[in-house]
A and B are shown apart, each in its own frame.
Chain A
């Protein structure tokens, strides 16, 4: 199975900061990489699919990049509503869609 390693596991940040979260796959997954945001007690919400395609309604301060094994989620100018946990997910092939361990953004 493809393993996803996400870092950091947590990040203490302030409103207005630029945030970068990385995700590494154990083998090449082309651009089959998705990013989700989850707030406490809520279901995850997809932000980015195919490594870099912003989902409808997601603010443009979110962006994704990467291909092969290394991927990045960037949030420019963090807003109060962005404090949440972020997960990467590989969707290479059919099924066995592993997630990264998550990155929790906390208020500094």
Chain B
């Protein structure tokens, strides 16, 4: 069974830093591209960041580019999101999601339960 478990969320002051983790199990992590998606309170889903299976390719939403860094440790079956210079608008539940491919189509087939980040003084 595919399992993704996020951790590392919490209350942080504006300008602070936080590192989220996502522990993966039940599949060959090193073969999967991964993503972070967030959801602000009462709002919709926002794609945040992507990392390829081996890690050389990453991408970010414009709203977090230059402040967030996605990384992975395939030996530890773990995904990370380093969040710096946090702002109130980064307050959200953060989900890690596995990207599945079939032919030329791809989608997020497995999601974690989410970890809540609150940026407030």
Query: What residues make up the interface of A, taking CB atoms closer than 8 Å to B?
Result: 1, 31-32, 34, 36, 38, 43-46, 49-50, 53, 55, 85, 87, 89, 91, 94-102
Contact = CB atoms under 8 A, between A and B. Distances in A.
Contacts, number: 69
Chain B at the A interface: mostly helix, strand, loop or mixed? strand
A14 to B, nearest CB: 25
A98 B105 contact: no
Interface size class of B (residues with CB under 8 A): 20 to 34
Interface of B: 35, 37, 44-47, 50, 52, 57, 59, 61-62, 95, 102, 104-109, 111-114
Contacts of B106: 32, 49, 91
B35 A43 contact: no
Contact of B57 (A36, A49, A94, A101): A94
B46 A89 contact: no
Contacts of B61: 96
